[in-house]
Structure 1
Amino acid sequence: MVEYSDMTLTCRDCGTQFVFSAGEQAFYAQKGFTNRPSRCPSCRQAYKSRRDAGGNYASGGGGYSSAPRGDRQMYPATCDECGRETMVPFMPSGNKPVYCSDCFAARRQAAYPRY
């Protein structure tokens, strides 16, 4: 069994020193992490907050943000499947079918069944 002892590290963002405790080292080893933390706890939290709210490809967000979008412009339409009046988040052009949420979900399920 490996013995761990507290070590002092320097934050790469703010330059302050912080303690990488023996308990944290054991946790890192248990999880299979091979690198020591490079940021102090407060900079680590700030980095995670920026990363999670990112919304661009460079931040690992895949181009989508988890931040709320605010009000979304909705447009009236008639479902081409069931004929029900519905609202959609795009302006129907008339050259493609438009579906209400129920019919859209049913068509998606039929096209991509889960195993």
Structure 2
Amino acid sequence: MVTAETAVVLPVLLLVLAAVVAAVVVVGAQLRCVDAAREGARAAARGEDLAVVRAVTASAAPDGALTTVSVEGAEVRVTVSAEVAPLGAVHLGVGVAATAVARLEPGVATGGAG
């Protein structure tokens, strides 16, 4: 009887484990987007070139992440977004994104957006 119960419960336990692993992957990617957006906003606020800002965000962001930089008045807004596949081979894409805003440092010219 115990063997039959174990045979019924084991697939459910594997599904729960897969769901927990997928959630950890998604949360990790979200945190990487948050960190990348913050680092990019700091670099842009210092007046770094757009290429440098994108390089800074790419080093901290998940693979394949897109970075958007915009300057509005005395603030710079950096958005990092990515799509992650938490279950690997299963084609289930989950989008994660984060935005960070920073005030431009004194003396930094307000340039265009990228």
TM-score, structure 2 as length reference: 0.27
Higher-Rg member (1/2): 1
Of Structure 1 and Structure 2, the greater helix share is in 2
Choose between structure 1 and 2 for higher RCO, CA contacts under 8 A separated by at least 6 residues: 2
